């Protein structure tokens, strides 16, 4: 069974995907983390697009440990936390536009999901990577609410944050994610659309379980 969860930044995909995977006792996969890992490594080595294609991707030694967090290593060094750096978030847009990068990430995901039951989150999981997945979710929330959640997250981590700036950054990412040519963020035709602006995570999970049950029978 493959359950895809796509949607814009800050919609709550990660919390939902983790909780749903736990509830169903299946694996959680985060496609964004793989794009982040490649971006981090490219930044560390000062690589541009050409170098990513010719020098980074061919020998990429990315190890994934499937647990609640989906921990990642590159060449034996754990990078689970480092991939969340603001610099990676800022620079990722041009790395994830490279077709060869997308192909690499898609292949890794498909390989992992081949013989397993998974909940996989991202931007193009239902539209491009797993078009035949039986259960597709598109999760969204208002821009204001997504900015509010992100702002509180930053505050909780003890980071300096300005609400208007956080909101602008999310709006900018929305544009980049949905206007890009390759694998833009779209609502898959057969997806269950959930706006969780006023919905708790438990209620959201209930909706998804009802959707699964409806489609199973
Ligand atoms: O989900 P996230 O915020 O960690 O993702 C980081 C970036 O990676 C996001 O701005 C867009 C990109 N991404 C993508 O292009 N395709 C995916 N399937 C997942 C993420």
Q: Give percent helix, percent strand, percent coil of the chain, each to the nearest 5.
A: 55, 15, 30
The model's pLDDT over 22-56, given as tens digits with 9 standing for 90+, comes to: 999 999 999 999 999 999 999 999 999 999 999 99
φ, ψ dihedrals at 96, nearest 5°: -80, 0
Strands 71-74 and 62-65: antiparallel
Instruction: Report pLDDT for 149.
Output: 93
The model's pLDDT over 120-140, given as tens digits with 9 standing for 90+, comes to: 999 999 999 999 999 999 999
Identify the residue whose C-alpha is closest to ligand 1 atom 13.
32
Contact assessment for residue 9 and residue 142, using Cβ atoms and an 8 Å cutoff: no
Instruction: Report pLDDT for 34.
Output: 97
Contact assessment for residue 191 and residue 6, using Cβ atoms and an 8 Å cutoff: yes
Cross-strand partners of 119 = 3, 28
What average pLDDT score do residues 2-21 get? Answer: 96
**Cα angle 49, 64, 212; round to 5:** 105
Centre of ligand 1 from the C-alpha of residue 166, in Å? 17
Strands 118-122 and 135-140: unpaired
Instruction: Report pLDDT for 217.
Output: 59
**Cα angle 146, 193, 130; round to 5:** 100
For residue 6 and ligand 1, the question of a CB distance below 6 A is answered with no
User: Is 2-216 CATH 3.40.50.300?
Assistant: yes
Centre of ligand 1 from the C-alpha of residue 122, in Å? 6
For residue 4 and ligand 1, the question of a CB distance below 6 A is answered with no
The model's pLDDT over 163-176, given as tens digits with 9 standing for 90+, comes to: 999 999 999 999 99
Instruction: Report pLDDT for 21.
Output: 96
Identify the residue whose C-alpha is closest to ligand 1 atom 9.
32
**Mean pLDDT across the chain:** 94
The model's pLDDT over 44-93, given as tens digits with 9 standing for 90+, comes to: 999 999 999 999 999 898 999 987 778 999 988 999 999 999 899 999 99
């Amino acid at each position: 069974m493959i359950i895809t969860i796509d949607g814009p930044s800050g919609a709550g995909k990660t919390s939902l995907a983790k909780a749903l995977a736990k509830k169903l006792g299946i694996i959680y996969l985060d496609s964004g983390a793989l794009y982040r890992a490649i971006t981090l490594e490219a930044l560390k080595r000062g690589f541009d697009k050409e170098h990513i294609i010719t020098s980074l991707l061919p020998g990429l030694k990315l190890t994934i440990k499937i647990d609640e967090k989906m921990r990642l290593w590159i060449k034996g060094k754990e990078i689970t936390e480092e991939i969340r750096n603001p610099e990676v978030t800022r620079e990722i847009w041009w790395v994830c536009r490279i077709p060869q990068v997308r192909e690499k990430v898609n292949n890794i995901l498909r390989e992992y999901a081949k013989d397993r039951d998974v909940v996989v989150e991202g931007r193009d999981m239902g539209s491009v990577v797993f078009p035949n997945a039986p259960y597709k979710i598109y999760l969204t929330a208002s821009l204001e609410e997504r900015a509010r959640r992100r702002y509180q997250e930053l505050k909780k981590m003890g980071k300096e944050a300005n609400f208007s700036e956080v909101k602008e950054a999310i709006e900018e990412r929305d544009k980049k994610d949905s206007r890009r040519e390759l694998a833009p963020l779209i609502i898959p035709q057969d997806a269950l659309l959930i706006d969780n602006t006023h919905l708790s995570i438990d209620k959201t999970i209930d909706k998804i379980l009802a959707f699964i049950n409806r489609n199973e029978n």
